[in-house]
Structure 1
Amino acid sequence: MNMFVHELKAYRKSMLIWTLSLIGIMILFLSLFPGMSKDIDEFTKVLEGYPEGVRKALGIELESIGTLLGFYSYIFMYITLCGAIQAMILGTSIVSKEVREKTADFLLTKPVTRTQIMTSKLMAAVVSLAVTNVLYLIAANLMAVQMKTEDYSGKLFFMISLTLLFIQLIFLAIGIIVSVVFPKIKAVLSVSLGTVFAFFVIGMLVAAGDDGAKRYLSPFKYFDPKLIIESSKYEASYLAAAIGIIIVSIAVSYAVYRKKDVHAV
């Protein structure tokens, strides 16, 4: 428990910065909605000039961009990008920071198992992401109520917003396995940005073409806001894929970490 609290305190500052950043981006974008919705005809004509593939890659749906949920779906793609970076940095730092700060040997001499160490770190990271999402959800709902120009489904708004947590958990799990397999990572930010942007670009390329099974290649495409709005549910196959990635990544991370030699230098 002391290790969990220590890790939680260590993540406190970055969690606050990322939370405020996500909320700030959301407020900035949503504040543009009332003005855009008033001139939606002209705005749509401009968007029609873009090739269909480009519109799909950018997450723009001409039929719904003038509604709050449609506009939010568009800007949410960039919010999830930032959220994924936060989660990836958290995951990649879990083991590598001990090696980087040369405290791994000291930590492993304590009367705790490696499983307990990993569990404490993982729980602290998950709680940090959960707090970020709770605060974001509260701020997003308050902002949506202020910016709406017509009634919208609060349930669908919540379902779309909740996918931020799902995507963050996926990248947290990916970051953890990277941290365990390559514990001597010195440039955590570079690795995290490279990985997240790679998946993001893949997602854009997949969206620009015929999605199909290629959507499995990018976690960013597992939860399509357009389909959530149309069906009021998540796609079971992609939800299962997300859960599978999280479980397998964490299970492998535990297995490797328990057996792997961890050096402080």
Structure 2
Amino acid sequence: MNMLLHELKAYRKSTIIWSFSLVMIIVLFMSFYPSFARDAEDFKKIMEGYPEAIRNAVGFNLGNFFTILGFYCFPLSFITLCGAIQAMNIGTSIVSKEVREKTADYLLTKPVTRTTILTAKLLAASISIVITNVVYIAAASIMVFQVKTGDFSFELFLMLSLTMFFIQLIFLAFGIVISVIVPKIKSVLTVSLAIVFAFYFVGMLSDTTGEDLKRYFSPFKYFDTAYIIKHSGYEASFLIAGAGIIILAIAASYVVYSKKDIHSV
């Protein structure tokens, strides 16, 4: 419990900053919605001038873009990107920070197993992400109700919002694997940004080609917002793929960390 609280305290500042940043982004974007709704036809004519592949890549769906939920999907794509960076950053630093700050050997002299250590760190990281999502969804809900111009399904809104949480779990798992495999990471943020943006651009490429198979190579495309709005649900195959990645990555992390040589200072 002491280890969990210590980790939570370590993540406190970054959790507050990320939560505040995501709230500011959604407030800024959703404040534009009333203007878009009033001039929907003019904006639609402008967007029709762009190739469909480009519209798909940046998250524009002309079929529902001018509804409150359709418009919400546009900033959600950027918010999800930010959330992925947060999760990847936390995951990558879980173990690597002990090596970087030269406290790994001290930590491992405590009368606890490596499994206990990694579990405490994983729980703290997960709690940090949950807090971020609760704060974000609460703020987004308030904002959506403030700017809506008609009725909408709040259940669908929650389903759309939770896609960020699911994607964050995937990137958290990626980060943990990297953290336990790579001997020493000098800059966690650099690694996190490189990996997250690589997956993001792979996802954009899959949109421009229209090939569903390529979507499996980018977690950002596991949750198609247009599909969620149309079918009121997630795509089962991508849910299974995401869950498989998380389970395999975390299991591999425990195996590697339990056998990893930790160099003393």
The alignment's TM-score, normalised by the length of structure 2, stands at 0.99
1:262 aligns with 2:262: yes
The answer to whether 1:153 aligns with 2:191 is no
Q: Pick which of 82-91 and 34-43 moved more.
A: 34-43
Partner Cα separation in structure 2 for residue 33 and residue 208 of structure 1: 26
Matches within 5 A, 1:1-265: 1-265=1-265
Sequence identity of aligned pairs in percent? 60
For the 8 Å contact 1:95–1:183, the answer to whether it is kept is no
Which stretches in structure 1 are left out of the alignment for 5+ residues? none
Q: Which amino acid aligns with 1:220?
A: F
Q: Give the secondary-structure state (helix, strand or coil) at the position aligned to 1:41.
A: helix
Amino acid across the alignment from 2:208: A
Are the counterparts in 2 of residues 105 and 262 from structure 1 also a CA contact under 8 Å?
A: yes
Letter in 2 for 1:10: A
CA distance in 1, matches of 2:74, 2:163: 14
- Given residue 204 of structure 1, which amino acid in structure 2 is its aligned partner? M
| Number of residue pairs matched by the alignment | 265
User: 2 CA distance for matches of 1:41 and 1:178?
Assistant: 48
Instruction: Give the secondary-structure state (helix, strand or coil) at the position aligned to 2:61.
Output: coil
Q: Which digits, 9 at most, give the CA deviation of each residue in 1:227-261, with x for residues without a partner? A: 00000011111001111000000000000000010
| Pairwise CA distance, 1:84 | 0.1
Give the RMSD, CA atoms, in angstroms. 0.8
Could you tell me how far 1:211 is from its partner in structure 2? 2.9
* Cα displacement (A) at 1:147: 0.7
Superposition TM-score, scaled by structure 1 size: 0.99
Task: In structure 2, give the amino acid aligned to 1:179.
Answer: S
SS of residue matched to 1:161 = helix
AA in 2 matched with 1:105: D
Deviation digits for residues 55-91 of structure 1, max 9, x if unmatched? 1111101111110110111211100000000000000
Partner-residue secondary structure (3-state), 2:62: coil
TM-superposed deviation, 1:45: 1.1
